[in-house]
Amino acid sequence: MATSSGFGIVRETLREDNYEHWKTCLQYYLAGQGLWGVVSGEEAKPGEEQKQQHDEWVKKAALALHAIQMSCGPHISAASAWAHLAQDSLPLLPPSSSHHRHIHLPIQGTKEYLKYEALYKAIELGNWSETKALLKMTPKALNARVSSHNDTALQIAILSGHLNIAEHLVDMMEAPDLEMINDYGATALSLVAVCGAKKLAAKIVNKNKNLVKMANEHDDGQLPVIVAALYGQKRMVRYLYKVTPKCELKGQNGVKLLNSLITADIYDIASNLLKRYPKLGVMCDHSGNYASRNIGAEAFFIPQRNKAFLVGKMDLLLSEVESLVQPKLKEEVNESNQTPEVVFSKEHEQLARDAEIWMKNTAGSSMIVGTLIAAVMFTTAFTVPGGNKNDTGLPTMLESQPRTFLLFMVSNALSMFCSCTSMLIFLGITTARYAEEDFLRSLPTKLIFGLTCLFFSIVTMMASFGSALYLILHQQIYWVCIPIIILSLIPIALFSICQFPLLIEMTNRTYGSAIFHKPNKYF
């Protein structure tokens, strides 16, 4: 809330953000009281030999200083305000144009960014037309510091999320101007890396390729690609990694990037970086962590259905990283006296429990379906269509429709065998010990074969149903068989839609390529 002046000299006491308005009001007051000449220096201080003139000047100076003191806020020095007023000492403008003075007056000795307040607000509000007009009136504002943290207009546009304005500003700026940093040591490219605006980043890099090599002056000197990895901007990381000279990613830069990539689950780039510089896997960062320890400590938010096989995948990832480090580092402990393997097990304990619950629920539900199919197929095998002959006991349809009857019996038997097999596999899943290594191959393999057998049991059950229907109706109402047989395909289609994506994904993740041996198009 604004602080009112005690004696009505100005409407608001001086703050850092209202200097221009405060100065205009105070100038008119001092001019009206005949005191402005003392402050501006137009009335020079007489010598002491001119006692009357000297005393008169001292009196005016005291009155002016008192007025300034009463007009300043509690955190502003009156002497400093006097100095600023004296340095400005410009002719007073008419009241109608006073609100535009901050565009034209050079405020030397005070907060430089205050004279760009209008530009700052225009950018913050996303008003490009006003921003463009202000920059046209004051061209040097394009490269000036416009905030209390020494941000440029481009940096304010990025921080405000107005990327269209930022693109226009990049087009207007010279390449060296893009290297300006704020109080936090961040360049415009570092800020873009945080927000993940790849298009804007490409425009900046195309204009000044040196920016990808400029590390922040704070945050341990992080390159833009490291900043993007820290904020999980995967598309931005892939672009910046592509344009960053690989020689810049040695030593601590490489270690910080590798650990950030692992934390952000960007394993393809982590793999490429390790292949280029294998020693990064055994180097510690400033916190004493290395790659395998970071993988062990990494926790993940994973969709419920993916947790079962990702436990095994993370175990595989830890094993692959451990293969890149020195054997002694595998047993090295952290500040909590824990090895990477222990940290991994502890951090993924909840993930393993969730995976166990999901696996048991899936196996239990599928086992019920397999049991029902097995029971139906067992009963159908002894109640064949058309009945049996009284004298021989052979099925009557065996002679009249031998091929169709053979299809009926074979599909019935296959359905029963597949359903029984799936039941036993799912039973093995529900009674497993659920150790971490079981999620790598054993449990996913069982679930893959169980679902496959269940699928074939459903397919053969529908084939058995269709052939039985044909045997019963083929002599009387043959045409009825065709639409019914077609409708019997619906359960097969539903099972495929619901379970095949899981089956395919689990197969790829279980038997696909190792994590650190994927082909990649980014490098």
Write out 324-385 in H/E/C secondary structure. Answer: CCCHHHHCCCCCCCCCHHHHHHHHCHHHHHHHHHHHHHHHHHHHHHHHHHHHHHHHHHCCCC
Return the closest-CA partner of residue 242 out of 215, 269, 281, 276.
Answer: 269
Q: What is the pTM of this model?
A: 0.49
The pair of structure tokens assigned to 311 is: 């436990």
> pLDDT 10s digit of each residue in the chain, 523 long?
444 444 456 666 666 666 666 777 777 777 777 777 777 777 777 877 777 777 787 778 777 777 776 676 554 555 566 665 655 544 433 333 333 333 333 333 346 778 888 898 999 899 999 999 989 988 888 888 888 888 899 999 998 889 999 999 999 999 999 999 888 888 999 999 988 899 999 999 999 999 998 887 655 678 999 989 888 888 999 999 999 998 888 888 888 888 888 878 787 788 788 788 877 766 766 656 655 555 544 544 344 445 555 565 556 656 655 665 556 656 666 566 777 667 767 766 777 788 888 889 989 999 999 999 999 999 888 777 766 666 766 777 776 778 888 888 899 999 999 999 999 999 999 998 888 778 778 888 899 999 999 999 999 999 988 888 888 777 777 677 778 878 888 988 998 898 888 888 888 777 765 544 444 555 5
Distances from the Cα of 20 to the Cαs of 85, 107, 123, 124, 310, in angstroms?
10, 9, 20, 20, 61
Q: Return the domain boundaries, the chain.
A: 19-104, 359-512
- CA–CA gap between residue 432 and residue 89 (Å, rounded): 87
Classify residue 185 as exposed, middle or buried by CB count within 10 Å of its CB (0-12, 13-18, 19+): middle
How many CA atoms within 13 Å lie on the side-chain side of 274? 26
Residue environment code for 425-460, b if the CB has 16+ CB neighbours within 10 A, otherwise e: bbbebeebebebebbbebbbbbbbebbbbbbbbbbb
Return the closest-CA partner of residue 516 out of 317, 356, 337, 361.
Answer: 317
- CA–CA gap between residue 247 and residue 254 (Å, rounded): 9
Q: Provide the phi-psi class of 391: left if phi over 0, else alpha when psi is between -120 and 50, else beta.
A: alpha
Beta bridge partners of 72: 14
- CA–CA gap between residue 325 and residue 198 (Å, rounded): 34
Beta bridge partners of 395: 388
CB within 8 Å of 227: residues ≥ 6 apart: 190, 193, 194, 216, 219
User: 59: how many CB neighbours lie within 10 A of its CB?
Assistant: 12
- Give me the pLDDT at residue 15, please: 64
- Give me the pLDDT at residue 294, please: 56
The pair of structure tokens assigned to 75 is: 């955190």
At residue 389, φ and ψ (nearest 5 deg) are -75, 140
Beta bridge partners of 14: 72
Residue environment code for 109-130, b if the CB has 16+ CB neighbours within 10 A, otherwise e: ebeebbbbbbbbebbbeeebee
- Give me the pLDDT at residue 299, please: 45
Return the closest-CA partner of residue 514 out of 440, 448, 421, 458.
Answer: 440
Tell me how far apart the terminal alpha carbons of the chain are, to the nearest angstrom.
Answer: 55
Q: With H, G, I as helix, E, B as strand and everything else as coil, classify residue 395.
A: strand
**DSSP-assigned letter for residue 105:** -
- Which H or E run includes 430? helix 402-430
Return the closest-CA partner of residue 467 out of 453, 481, 487, 483.
Answer: 481
- Give me the pLDDT at residue 523, please: 52
At residue 180, φ and ψ (nearest 5 deg) are -65, 140
CB within 8 Å of 15: residues ≥ 6 apart: 2, 3, 22, 73, 76
- CA–CA gap between residue 211 and residue 175 (Å, rounded): 10
- CA–CA gap between residue 179 and residue 208 (Å, rounded): 8
Q: Are 456 and 373 in contact (CB under 8 A)?
A: no
- CA–CA gap between residue 29 and residue 201 (Å, rounded): 51
User: CA 477, 481, 483: angle at the middle one, nearest 5?
Assistant: 120
- CA–CA gap between residue 387 and residue 382 (Å, rounded): 9
